[in-house]
């Protein structure tokens, strides 16, 4: 059985569902403990653990990046330093945490349990830091943000500079990722907050709506729909529609909005799938075709490009953009500050949009 010491205060430390660590009164110091079964009273002598938060951070980093050198780089230490501490922890516990024979490096069965617990312990450490900062009236620390690619290039420039100027002691670490990866990393504690399109209806994930973004039609001058003032979903020829590749939630929204699975038997509109909204925009401009853009992606259009925009007939379809956190998230004040700054930074027109016709993911 593997034990973790989370704190050395009090007369006993709960480390497992049926075991408690109690100080060995026969010896001086607090690093030697005896394990006592809560069910049978059985005593297990000789538990001496010297693990540190740094060691736990290192094994979590190796698990995150699955490579010792990359993990060391992200921990700002040399690889020998990180490897030595991981090895020291393995020797202390008497188990192998990682299978180094595999590339990428993978945790062993015991290592998987240890790493999961290490993530929880480090999260509890963050709770302590958050309590101290709150008592001192400080807003500081690191906020790891995941954001989907159809939001990142349009939303980040609106709020990042203002946020970092207002809160210079908060470090933002931002990564682009798909919705699926974002939710997974939230559950694993690898990011603190996500910015994406909702509703997700994911157990254990809390959603805080930021704004509603209108979906707009971007149509080529060569397309018959260019002559229309307002659009209906059925006006869109699926064989002329440019879509994002699989994995983007925005793609699935457009499929639902335009009922593409019903409308096209040949499926020819799936022949080319773009990786970004910018590519879709260019394809429409240079070829016959049509695509759908979220409102923020149309904010920087030139006058000539704006002539290609058509609105859907009201109520216009919207996508719901939210901050999402895991139900056990810690950095509540930092996340609230982020939410307030994002809402303040988006254009007034976007803030005024209503949720009359939210397209599901």
Pair (237, 316) in one structural domain: yes
At residue 49, the pLDDT reads 59
* Band (31; pLDDT cuts 50, 70, 90): very low
Q: Is the same domain home to 226 and 317?
A: yes
- With a cut of 50, say whether residue 59 has pLDDT above it: yes
pLDDT score recorded for residue 272: 55
Q: pLDDT digits over 210-262, tens only? A: 999 999 999 989 888 888 888 888 888 888 888 776 677 888 888 877 765 44
Share of the chain above pLDDT 70, in %: 81
Do residues 244 and 354 both lie within one domain? yes
- Band (pLDDT 50/70/90 cuts) for residue 28 is very low
129 plus 146 within the same structural domain? no
233 and 219 in one domain? yes
Residue 74 and residue 32 share a domain: no
**Distance, CA of 175 to CA of 157 (rounded, Å):** 14
In this structure, is residue 8 part of a structural domain?
A: no
163 and 118, same structural domain?
A: no
Q: Cα separations (Å) of 303 from 70, 167, 278, 284, 300?
A: 46, 36, 17, 16, 9
Residues 202, 341: one domain? yes
Alpha-carbon distances of 7 from 23, 118, 131, 134, rounded to whole Å: 12, 13, 16, 21
Is 26 a residue whose pLDDT tops 60? no
Whether 70 and 21 map to the same domain: the answer is no
**What is the pTM (predicted TM-score) of this model?**
0.72
Residue 13 has pLDDT above 90, yes or no: no
Contact 133, 140 (CB under 8 A): yes
Q: How many CB atoms lie within 10 A of CB 95?
A: 15
The mean pLDDT of 40-49, rounded to a whole number, is 52
Which residue has better confidence, 69 or 189? 69
Distance between CA atoms of residues 68 and 61, nearest Å: 8
Nearest to 97 by CA among 72, 121, 114: 114
Mean pLDDT over 141-145 rounds to: 92
Confirm whether 184 is domain-assigned: yes
253 and 326 co-located in one domain: yes
What's the mean pLDDT in 186-195? 90
What per-residue confidence (pLDDT) applies to 126? 81
Number of domains in the chain: 3
Report the pLDDT averaged over residues 174-187: 92
* Three-state secondary structure string covering the chain: CCCCCCCCCCCCEEEECCEEEEECCCCCCCCEEEEEECCCCCEEEEEECCCCHHHHHHHHHHHHHCCHHHHHHHCCCCHHHHHHHHHHHHHHHCCCCEECCCCCCEECHHHHHHHHHHHHHHHHHHHHHHHHHHHHCCCCEEEEEEECCCCHHHHHHHHHHHHHHHCCCEEEEEEECCHHHHHHHHHHCCCCEEEEEECCCCCCEEEEEEEEEEEEEEECCCCHHHHCCEECHHHCCHHHECEECCCCHHHHHHHHHHCHHHHCCCCHHHCCEECCHHHHHHHHHHCCCEEEEEHHHHCCCCHHHHCCEEEECCCCCEEEEEEEEECCCCCHHHHHHHHHHHHHHCCHHHHCCCCCCECCC
Residue 205's pLDDT is what?
93
Tell me the per-residue pLDDT of 248-257, one tens digit each, with 9 for 90 and over.
788 888 887 7
The answer to the question of residue 162 being in a domain is: yes
User: By percentage, how much of the chain surpasses pLDDT 90?
Assistant: 48
Mean pLDDT of the chain, nearest integer: 82
Does the pLDDT of residue 140 top 60, yes or no?
A: yes
* CATH code at position 203: 3.40.190.290
Domain that holds residue 269: 141-361
Q: What average pLDDT does range 191-199 have in this prediction?
A: 94
Question: What is the spatial distance between Cα 91 and Cα 58, in angstroms, rounded to a whole number?
Answer: 15
Residue 3 lies in a domain: no
pLDDT in tens, 273-327: 667 888 888 888 888 888 889 999 999 899 999 999 999 988 999 999 999 998 8
Q: Looking at the structure, tell me whether residues 211 and 64 fall in a common domain.
A: no
Q: What are 88-131's pLDDT values in tens digits?
A: 999 988 899 999 998 899 999 999 999 989 988 888 888 788 78
In this structure, is residue 226 part of a structural domain? yes
Final residue belonging to a domain, choices 134, 160, 194? 134
Looking at residue 141, its pLDDT comes to 87
Residue 209 lies in a domain: yes
pLDDT band at 152 (very low <50, low <70, confident <90, very high): very high
Q: Of the residues 134, 150, 172, which one is the last residue of a structural domain?
A: 134
Same domain, 32 and 155: no
- 7, part of any domain: no
Tokens at 156, concatenated:
């980040």
2 domain residue, yes or no: no
CA separation for the pair 143, 339 (Å, rounded) = 12
């Amino acid at each position: 059985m593997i034990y973790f010491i989370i704190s050395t205060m009090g007369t006993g430390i709960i480390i497992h569902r049926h075991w408690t660590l109690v100080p060995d009164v026969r010896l001086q110091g607090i690093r030697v403990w005896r394990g006592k079964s809560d069910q049978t009273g059985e005593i297990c002598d000789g538990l001496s653990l010297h693990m540190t938060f740094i060691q736990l951070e290192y094994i979590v980093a190796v698990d995150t990046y699955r490579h010792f050198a990359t993990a060391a780089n992200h921990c700002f230490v040399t690889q020998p330093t990180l490897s030595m501490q991981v090895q020291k922890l393995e020797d202390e516990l008497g188990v192998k945490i990682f299978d180094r024979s595999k590339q990428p490096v993978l945790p062993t069965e015991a290592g998987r349990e240890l790493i999961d617990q290490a993530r929880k312990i480090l999260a509890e450490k963050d709770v302590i830091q958050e309590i101290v900062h709150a008592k001192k009236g400080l807003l500081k620390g690191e906020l790891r943000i995941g954001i989907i690619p159809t939001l990142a290039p349009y939303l980040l420039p609106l709020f990042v500079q203002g946020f970092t100027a207002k809160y210079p002691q908060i470090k933002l670490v931002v990564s682009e990722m798909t919705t699926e990866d974002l939710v997974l990393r939230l559950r694993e504690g690898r990011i603190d907050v996500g910015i994406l399109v909702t509703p997700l209806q994911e157990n254990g994930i809390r959603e805080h709506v930021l704004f509603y973004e209108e979906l707009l039609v971007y149509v080529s001058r060569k397309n018959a729909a260019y002559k229309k003032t307002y659009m209906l979903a059925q006006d869109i020829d699926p064989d002329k529609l440019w879509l994002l590749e699989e994995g983007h939630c925005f793609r699935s929204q457009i499929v639902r909005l335009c009922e593409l699975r019903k409308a096209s038997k040949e499926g020819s509109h799936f022949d080319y799938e773009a990786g970004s909204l910018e590519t879709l925009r260019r394809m429409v401009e240079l070829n016959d075709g049509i695509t759908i853009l979220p409102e923020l992606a149309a904010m920087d259009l030139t006058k000539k490009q704006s002539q290609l925009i058509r609105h859907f007939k009201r109520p216009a379809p919207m996508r719901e953009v939210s901050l999402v956190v895991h139900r056990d998230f810690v950095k509540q004040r930092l996340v609230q500050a982020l939410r307030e700054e994002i809402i303040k930074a988006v254009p007034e027109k976007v803030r005024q949009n209503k949720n009359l016709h939210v397209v599901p993911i």
